[in-house]
Structure 1
Amino acid sequence: MKKFLKIAAIVLAAAFVIIQFIRPDFTNPPVNQAETLEASTQVPENVEAILTNSCKDCHSYESQYPWYSKIQPSAWFLAHHIEEGRQQMNLSVWNTYETKRKRRKLSEICEQVELHEMPLPSYLWIHRSAKLSDEQIEILCNWTRQESDKLAQAQ
């Protein structure tokens, strides 16, 4: 039994080393400033700070990759979350969205932060500073409602 455990430990250690060479691509695509949220929407400094600290790592092409992005399999998990986040809403291509989609996304931002679904709890384990206070949630929701109203009036 001891021999089996020793062989199993060696195999697991070797597998862990080997998977370190299978890395996801963490290159951020270039940002076209004309397509960003800020290009079409007035974003106050306090809202921009919230978005940068709590949203843009997964919902833009401005992701900042932490130390654990260099360790497999956590890097694969991270790459998948970022890909999903960008598919759901990407602030770097916001200006390419139809008005209806922008309004829906603004509503979803408020809804998800109020329900504490965003930022993801798994993200908050390591990024504690990304956790939104009640005041930040209120600021973000007030802003999303104002922007949605502006879009509705412009139609």
Structure 2
Amino acid sequence: MKIAKKIAVALLVVFVVMQFIRPDKNVTDDPDYVAVFESETNPSQEVKQLLETTCYDCHSDNTVYPWYNNIAPVSYWLADHIEHGKGHLDFSNWENYDAEKKDHKLEEIIEEVKEEKMPLKEYTWTHQEARLTQEQRETISAWAQEARLRYGITQ
């Protein structure tokens, strides 16, 4: 057997095995998984909808998975993105942040949204509804700036 054929067979075996060993999904049964965050920051209905559409999949305890998440290695790639996203900001863990960290996270939201770094381009490729207009970016930024005032740290 030629080396290329051996490599192809090995890759096929790895691919098949990956279909049976999947990363854990980021799903919760708790309907209030962002309740503390929303209660403290008081987003309008419009901002809540924008956060749900653009942020919560990667930055909370509940992800709405697309059909293609059932295919490895995509499932691993998405799991890594979600883990990384929650490592930076986890709306479901908001009650465990101190006031200074909450203020800083809101400041980062403003920066990331204004600089068009969030939502990630990889996310908006497959989630057209997550593409923010300039007006929506300004709406999120204004809400986050107002929410920062609740923590008494912003100058």
TM over 0.5: yes
Q: 1:87 to 1:32 in 2, by over 3 A?
A: farther
The 5 A counterparts of 1:94-113 are 94-113=94-113
- Whether the 8 Å contact between 1:32 and 1:92 is mirrored in structure 2 is no
User: Which residue matches 1:65?
Assistant: 65
Instruction: Give, in angstroms, the shift of residue 59 of structure 1.
Output: 0.5
Give how far 1:94 is off.
1.3
- Counterpart check, 1:22 vs 2:21: yes
Q: Which amino acid aligns with 1:64?
A: V
Deviation (angstroms), 1:9 = 3.9
Gaps of at least 5 residues in structure 2 are none
The Cα shift of 1:52 comes to 0.2
Q: Secondary structure at 2:113's aligned position in 1?
A: helix
Counterpart of 1:132 in structure 2 is: 132
Contact 1:110–1:144 (8 Å) recurs in 2: yes
Q: Distance in 2 between matches of 1:73 and 1:25?
A: 13
SS at structure 2 position matched to 1:142: helix
TM-score normalised by the chain length of structure 1: 0.86
CA distance in 2, matches of 1:115, 1:103: 18
Question: Relative to structure 1, is the Cα distance of residues 76 and 88 closer, same or farther in structure 2, using a 3 angstrom cutoff?
Answer: same
Which amino acid in the other structure matches residue 24 of structure 1? P
Structure 2 counterpart of 1:87, which letter? G
TM-score by length of 2: 0.86
Cα separation, 2, equivalents of 1:130 and 1:35: 21
Deviation at 1:57, TM superposition (A): 0.1
Q: Is residue 40–residue 95 contact of structure 1 (8 Å, CA) maintained in 2?
A: no
8 Å contact from structure 2 (residues 112, 118) kept in 1:
yes
Structure 1: unaligned runs, 5 residues or longer: none
- Aligned residues of 2:26 and 2:63 also touching (Cα < 8 A): no
Deviation at 1:41, TM superposition (A): 2.5
Query: Identity over aligned residues, as a percent?
Result: 37
Separation in structure 2 between the aligned mates of residue 20 and residue 113 of structure 1, nearest angstrom: 35
Are 2:31 and 1:37 aligned? Answer: no
Would you say the 8 A contact 1:106–1:148 is kept in 2?
yes
Give the distance between the partners of 2:31 and 2:66, measured in 1 at CA: 24
Q: Which residue of 1 aligns with 2:122?
A: 122
CA shift digits 1:36-95 (9 cap, x unpaired): 312323110000010000000000112111112111111111101111111211111212
State the 1:97 CA deviation.
1.4
1:92 is paired with a residue whose SS is helix
Residue 91 of structure 2 is matched in structure 1 by 91
Instruction: Find the aligned partners of 2:26 and 2:108 in 1 and give their Cα distance.
Output: 27
